[in-house]
């Protein structure tokens, strides 16, 4: 079983060019399209013209989740993991993104894990609150960090558990701290 720390942001809430930092394709000084997404290496940040251009392309205001959205998502993530026979040590859902620590069979690609969580999450949100004008609740893709040993899994669970301003945090009983 392989474990991952998965993250996705809500539509429009964290755009390319954001001053907080971002991972997205940019054109470098040589004119090549590059993406700076290697863990523990610098990523891009604070490109106001890029952020302004991205903002102009939005189909609706940025999506912000509320408590009732987060509770529905938590329940759906737990159900999805159960049906798929995944282990789900931790979930944190904030107004503009979520983090999930998930373990699945070695052959399961992280894109599949994140895609299933976002897809089933979108269905439950759209069923309860209607489909957003953007036609999606989420930004495309997301972060998929491999957790290669028990220490990194526990560190990821602690990171998820200690999120600032969470709407919902859920930690599996076997991973809770005393």
State residue 40's pLDDT score: 58
Taking alpha carbons only, the member of 1, 13, 8 closest to residue 91 is: 8
Q: Whole-prediction pTM value?
A: 0.87
- Report if residue 111 sits inside a domain: yes
CATH of the domain at 155: 3.30.70.1290
Strand partners, 171: 90
- Report if residue 116 sits inside a domain: yes
State residue 57's pLDDT score: 87
State residue 27's pLDDT score: 75
- Report if residue 163 sits inside a domain: yes
> Which two tokens mark 174?
């076997």
- Report if residue 158 sits inside a domain: yes
CB 24 within 8 A of CB 44: yes
Parent domain of 104: 2-11+62-175
DSSP of 95-160, one letter per residue? SSEEEEEEEE-TT--HHHHHHHHHHHHHHHHHHHH---TTS-SB-SS-EEEEE-SHHHHHHHHHHH
Q: What is the mean pLDDT of each run of 10 residues along the chain (178 residues)?
A: 95 81 75 70 76 87 97 98 97 97 94 97 98 94 90 94 96 82
- Report if residue 31 sits inside a domain: no
State residue 14's pLDDT score: 83
Number of domains present in the structure of the chain: 1
Q: How far apart are CA 73 and CA 97, in angstroms?
A: 11
- Report if residue 56 sits inside a domain: no
- Report if residue 94 sits inside a domain: yes
């Amino acid at each position: 079983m392989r474990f991952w720390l998965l993250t996705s942001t809500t539509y429009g809430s964290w755009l390319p060019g954001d001053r907080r930092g971002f991972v997205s394709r940019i054109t470098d000084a040589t004119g090549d399209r590059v993406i700076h997404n290697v863990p523990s290496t610098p990523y891009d940040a604070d490109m106001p013209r890029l952020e302004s251009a991205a903002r102009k392309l939005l189909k609706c205001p940025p999506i912000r989740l509320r408590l009732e959205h987060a509770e529905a998502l938590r329940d759906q993530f737990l159900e999805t993991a159960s049906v798929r026979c995944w282990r789900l040590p931790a979930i944190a859902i904030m107004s503009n993104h979520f983090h999930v620590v998930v373990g699945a069979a070695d052959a399961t690609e992280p894109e599949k894990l994140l895609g299933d969580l976002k897809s089933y999450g979108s269905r439950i949100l759209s069923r309860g609150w209607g489909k957003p004008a953007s036609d999606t609740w989420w930004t495309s893709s997301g972060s998929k960090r491999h957790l290669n040993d028990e220490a990194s899994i526990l560190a990821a669970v602690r990171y998820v558990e200690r999120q600032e301003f969470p709407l919902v945090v859920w930690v599996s009983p076997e991973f809770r701290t005393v």
